[in-house]
């Protein structure tokens, strides 16, 4: 079964850091670009970051550029998101998601990040 | 404010057809493929349409997608109560701040 499982979410204070992980299974992880997409409470989907299959190219939303870092370990079939200088507006469910053709076809169940003092 | 514009809500009766629009620009919809996602409360989004009009396996042909210029449309025929959900369009934006962009979402109510 194709599956993505996120972990690492939690409650942090403004200015603190957090690292999210995503474990992939059931497919050849190393051949797919991967993404992080978030959804604030009661809001729509917001793309956060993407990384190519070989890590050669990364992209970031303007709202997180310079604070978040996406990375992957193909040997471990894992995707990561290092988040620094967290703000209240970063509070959201963070989804790990797989690129397929010109769509995102596999989504994890999400991990919740809450930034509050 | 989302880069792609969708109506906040649409509604129709069971068995009827509904269309959900998604408007963008030349840097996104105009030059890239569009995908559509269905999301039920408390769950992850699900891919309904990719490459403008292709359905992943398991998605019924009641769901269809089309694109013209800088706009796209999701069509749902034979509406069922189980179709009541939020629907999002998405595409790659090739501007200086390249990345995925999504519409604000459309809440479908089956009357």
B21-30: per-residue pLDDT in tens?
999 999 999 9
Q: How much is the average pLDDT of A1-5?
A: 97
Q: Is the pLDDT of residue A18 over 90?
A: yes
Q: How much is the average pLDDT of B84-93?
A: 97
Is B99 touching A (CB cutoff 8 A)?
yes
Q: How much is the average pLDDT of B55-79?
A: 97
Q: Which residues of B touch A60 (CB under 8 A)?
A: 99
CA gap A49, A69 in Å, rounded: 8
- Beta-carbon separation of A102 and B33 below 8 A: yes
Q: Which residues of A touch B104 (CB under 8 A)?
A: 44
pLDDT computed for residue A54 by the predictor: 97
Is A105 touching B (CB cutoff 8 A)?
yes
What's the DSSP call for residue B83?
Answer: G
- In this complex, which of A50, A102, A110 lies closest to B35 when CB atoms are compared? A102
Looking at the complex, report in whole angstroms how far the Cα of residue A16 sits from the nearest Cα belonging to chain B: 26
Alpha helices (runs of H) in A1-117, residue ranges in sequence order: none
Residues near A60 by beta carbon (within 8 Å), at least 6 away in sequence = A48, A49, A68, A70, B99
């Amino acid at each position: 079964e194709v599956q993505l499982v996120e972990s690492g979410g939690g409650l942090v204070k403004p200015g603190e850091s957090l690292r999210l992980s995503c474990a992939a299974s059931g497919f050849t992880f190393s051949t797919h670009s991967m993404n992080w997409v978030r959804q604030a409470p009661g809001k729509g989907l917001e793309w956060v970051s993407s990384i190519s299959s070989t890590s050669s190219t990364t992209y970031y939303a303007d709202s997180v550029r310079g604070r978040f870092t996406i990375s992957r370990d193909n040997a471990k079939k894992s995707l990561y998101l290092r988040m620094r200088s967290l703000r209240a507006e970063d509070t959201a469910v963070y989804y790990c998601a797989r690129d397929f053709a010109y769509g995102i076809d596999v989504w994890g169940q999400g991990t919740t990040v809450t930034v509050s003092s | 404010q989302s880069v792609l514009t969708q109506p906040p809500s649409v509604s129709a009766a069971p068995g009827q057809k509904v269309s959900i629009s998604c408007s963008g620009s030349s840097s996104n919809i105009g030059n890239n493929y569009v995908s559509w996602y269905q999301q039920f409360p408390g769950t992850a989004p699900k891919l309904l349409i990719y490459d403008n009009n292709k359905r992943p396996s398991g998605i019924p042909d009641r769901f269809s997608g089309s694109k013209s210029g800088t706009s796209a449309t999701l069509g749902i025929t034979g509406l069922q109560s189980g179709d009541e959900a939020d629907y999002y369009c998405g595409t790659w934006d090739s501007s200086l701040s390249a990345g995925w962009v999504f519409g604000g979402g459309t809440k479908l109510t089956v009357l």
